[in-house]
Amino acid sequence: MSVRVQREDFDPGAEIARMTEGRTDVGAVTSFVGLVRGAAGDGSAMTLEHYPGMTERQLSAIEAEACGRWPLLDSLIIHRFGRLNPGDRIVLVAVASSHRAAAFAACEFLIDWLKTRAPFWKLEEGPGGEHWVEAKDDDDDRADRWNKSS
Amino acid sequence: MSVRVQREDFDPGAEIARMTEGRTDVGAVTSFVGLVRGAAGDGSAMTLEHYPGMTERQLSAIEAEACGRWPLLDSLIIHRFGRLNPGDRIVLVAVASSHRAAAFAACEFLIDWLKTRAPFWKLEEGPGGEHWVEAKDDDDDRADRWNKSS
Amino acid sequence: MRILYFAWLRGKVGTGEEEITPPVGIATVGQLIDWLKTRSPGYAEAFAQPGLIRAAVNQEYAKLDQAVAASDEVAFFPPVTGG
Amino acid sequence: MRILYFAWLRGKVGTGEEEITPPVGIATVGQLIDWLKTRSPGYAEAFAQPGLIRAAVNQEYAKLDQAVAASDEVAFFPPVTGG
């Protein structure tokens, strides 16, 4: 179980490989990579601000919650901050478990909860200048699903 | 959209990276890696038999079904055959989409359908000799979920 | 007609692939199975439990009432266990 | 008391971080907000829509009735948009 908040890019393949290296109890690894969308060169870069300290604390709490809900063998959250361009990776969530049902559920839970709980804010650069991205009701709805009957 | 059935191992990281290379419309990449479980050296290797021709045809049909159900930008299924040891990778399913909900749903759909439709059979080596793995009702149930609402 | 057998069906019938010419009147997958069962005790055993057999005609899943012709590739196998 | 502001709240109050000593009687997050709003038009604007404000005390999410003390780190920010 680990959490990393960093300015640098990450290598999803290396991280996924590390989760299974030298072990034979992992039957399923699920992963989610989130990327910046936007036409290249249209100026739609963004800057991710975060709350150092609280971010790591919240991500660890989210991971602990997932570990309590599903039988996980390992999990990893990496989230970048700073200026990012279209096509850049933002976030990686990866989960290892004996079975795929737990691995899928936990991975989706982690990104859903992260989206509504981890203190990150996106400042988008657009043709009309910078603006702070507003939170989506849809994200709240997706996170809320996990509070209903499991 | 592509399908590969091969004896050789694959590199999940390289495959995931290839799905987003040079494009800025992908917002989410989900992946599933299935691995052989079992204590190392306990003789729990297995041999995966398949039906050459029909396997590729069924995997392509499964992929086409997923593309019809969700707005996918790319998808990939790699499935190995031959003798595999505990810790070895068996299967990779990866999906790229603009948004994460479609990427998660399609990825889980693909592995659920693959498990009940793609003509592969596992011959396990155990302490008591070889035996053919029996299909699980649970896998049928998981695949059937996708026939219900939405 | 080309017939393929996979997994434990192959062991019971004793071959993975054969060319056969069924008697006149064998027009469906179900009739083919009934005829195959008469060929030897091994075949009879392989097809003893219909619920454990899946069939494909020309590499597509097929039901018992699906038509089969001399030029078809017909496969029999247990429920799949990949992934 | 250390107060942090993030995203557009920082722009409206004009700083990302400050040390303040609230008057006696400010015992909860809600009371702190009410007092901050009186400090300048920028603060008033930042906290004008309570539904758009999230608070954390010592890096844990907090509700309006949560107690705050002089040694606490209190943060205000809009709903998060990471991931």
Are C9 and C46 in contact by the 8 Å Cβ rule? The answer is yes
> How is residue C17 written in tokens?
């692939």
> How is residue A61 written in tokens?
């709490």
The four Cα atoms A14, A18, A23, A24 give a dihedral, to 10 degrees, of -40
> How is residue B77 written in tokens?
């299924």
Q: What ranges in chain C are assigned the alpha helix state H? A: 8-13, 29-36, 41-46
Give the domain A2-144 fold.
Aldehyde Oxidoreductase; domain 3 (3.90.1170)
Provide the mean pLDDT of chain D: 97
**ipTM > 0.95 (yes/no):** no
Pick from A32, A37, A100: CB nearest B111: A100
Please report residues of D whose CB lies closer than 8 A to that of A48: 82
Pick from A57, A91, A117: CB nearest D80: A117
How long is chain A? 150
Pick from A16, A100, A111: CB nearest B12: A16
Domains in chain C: boundaries: 2-77
Which of these, A78, A72, A41, lies nearest to A59 by C-alpha position?
A: A78
Which of these, B13, B15, B29, lies nearest to B98 by C-alpha position?
A: B29
Q: Is the pLDDT of residue A150 over 60?
A: no
Provide the mean pLDDT of chain A: 93
* DSSP annotation of A29: E
Chains with ≥3 CB–CB distances under 8 Å to C: B
pTM score, two decimals? 0.94
> How is residue C2 written in tokens?
């080309």
Which of these, B102, B16, B74, lies nearest to A10 by C-alpha position?
A: B16
Interface of chain A against chain D, CB under 8 Å? 34, 48-51, 53-54, 57-58, 79, 90-91, 111, 114-123, 132-136, 139
Question: Which of B47, B49, B59, B79 is the best mutation test for C, with the most CBs of C within 10 A?
Answer: B49
Per-residue pLDDT of A79-133, as tens digits, reads 999 999 999 999 999 999 999 999 999 999 999 999 999 999 999 998 788 999 9
Going by CATH, does the domain composed of D2-77 fall within 1.10.490.10? no
Q: What is the mean predicted confidence (pLDDT) over A40-52?
A: 84
Per-residue pLDDT of C15-45, as tens digits, reads 999 999 999 999 999 999 999 999 999 999 9
- Say what the pLDDT of residue C2 is: 98
Q: Tally DSSP H helices, then E strands, for chain B.
A: 4, 8
